[in-house]
């Protein structure tokens, strides 16, 4: 079963290499593309003050963080939670840079050693909407994700919003129909097949508007794949 973690961080500034640290981590779990509620959230004491510009973005005061745990205290809990999952991050190099620096300071290897694939939704959005603003707020507006409660950046709230954005970017919950045929488990109820041979099923033709909408969806999927969809290749052959 596919397990994905939407991850976001807030930091004291913009440069992990220059000593800025993580102050908040928010994680939202998707299993089979559905929210499970098994989320993870940490506030962290960075051991330094936030840069004034960063403080204006996240609004998390230095005083609030003084009694919070250090990253080294929660590192193993975080890694156990993320273990083996695919990660989805907006502007992944930024968050990964900070997480890898924090792990390095605890003597651990980079995050990629513990997780599966890492998807950057900013890269996805730039491919789908070239030349347009692709910040999280811009994508929420474009994809009709309600971000009215986002007055300041917060790692868990942003991860929750990004989960909705990601599902919309990948065509929603019904993007692909996947049917798994498992062997019946002990105690499972068996259902007999219903014979439809004697039933006259009506044929409902799509309207012109529905056909146009379908073609628009196919066009978006083809664009997102870089023109590699099978149906376009067959049309052009």
Q: Kindly state whether residue 141 falls inside one of the protein's structural domains.
A: yes
Which of 51, 83, 153, 191 is catalytic? The answer is 153
- Please check whether residues 7 and 88 belong to one and the same domain: yes
Which two three-digit tokens encode residue 10?
A: 């807030």
Residue 188 lies in a domain: no
The answer to whether residue 124 sits within a structural domain is yes
Rounded distance between C-alpha atoms, residue 155 and residue 142, angstroms: 21
Give the mean model confidence (pLDDT) for residues 197-223: 77
Q: Do the domain assignments include residue 214?
A: yes
pTM passes above 0.75: no
**Is 202 part of a structural domain of the chain?**
no
Residue 175 within any structural domain of the chain:
no
> Residue 67 and residue 62: Cα distance in Å, rounded?
10
Is 161 within the bounds of a domain? yes
Are the beta carbons of 2 and 32 closer than 8 angstroms? yes
State whether 147 and 237 are in the same domain.
no
Query: Is residue 210 over pLDDT 70?
Result: yes
Q: Are residues 110 and 223 in the same domain?
A: no
Residue carrying the six token digits 């219903």: 194
pLDDT tens digits, 4-47: 999 999 999 999 999 999 999 999 999 999 999 999 999 999 99
Known active-site residue 90 = no
201 occurs within a structural domain:
no
* Structural domain for 34, as ranges: 3-169
- Out of 151, 169, 187, pick the residue that ends a domain: 169
Counting residues of the chain whose pLDDT is more than 70, the rounded percentage is 83
Tokens 């913009």 -> residue: 14
Are residues 16 and 89 part of one domain?
A: yes
State whether 157 and 77 are in the same domain.
yes
| DSSP per-residue codes, 143-211 | TT---TT-SS--HHHHHHHHHHHHHHHTT-TTSS-----PPPPTTPPP-PPP--TT------PPPHHHH
| Model confidence pLDDT, tens digit, residues 102-144 | 999 999 999 999 999 999 999 999 999 999 999 999 999 999 9
DSSP 82: H
Domain count for the chain, please give it: 2
**CATH code (residue 21):** 3.30.420.10
Same domain, 232 and 138: no
Structural tokens at position 121: 């939704």
């Amino acid at each position: 079963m596919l397990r994905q973690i939407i991850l976001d961080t807030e930091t004291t500034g913009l440069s992990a290499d220059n000593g800025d640290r993580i102050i908040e981590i928010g994680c939202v779990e998707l299993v089979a593309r559905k929210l499970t509620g098994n989320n993870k959230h940490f506030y962290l004491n960075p051991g330094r003050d936030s840069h004034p510009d960063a403080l204006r973005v996240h609004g998390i005061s230095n005083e609030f963080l003084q009694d919070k745990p250090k990253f080294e205290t929660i590192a193993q809990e975080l890694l156990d939670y993320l273990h083996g999952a695919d990660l989805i991050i907006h502007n992944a190099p930024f968050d990964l840079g900070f997480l890898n620096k924090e792990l390095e300071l605890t003597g651990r290897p980079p995050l990629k050693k513990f997780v599966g694939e890492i998807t950057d939704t900013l890269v996805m959005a730039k491919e789908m909407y070239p030349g347009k603003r692709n910040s999280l707020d811009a994508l929420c507006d474009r994809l009709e994700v309600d971000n009215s409660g986002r007055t300041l950046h917060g790692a868990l709230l942003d991860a929750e919003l990004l989960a909705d954005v990601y599902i919309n970017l990948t065509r929603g919950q019904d993007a692909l129909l996947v049917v798994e045929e498992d062997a019946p488990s002990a105690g499972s109820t068996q259902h007999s097949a219903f014979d439809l041979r004697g039933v006259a099923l009506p044929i409902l033709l799509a309207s012109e508007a529905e056909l146009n909408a379908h073609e628009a969806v196919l066009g978006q999927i083809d664009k997102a794949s870089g023109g590699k969809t099978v149906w376009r290749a067959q049309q052009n052959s």
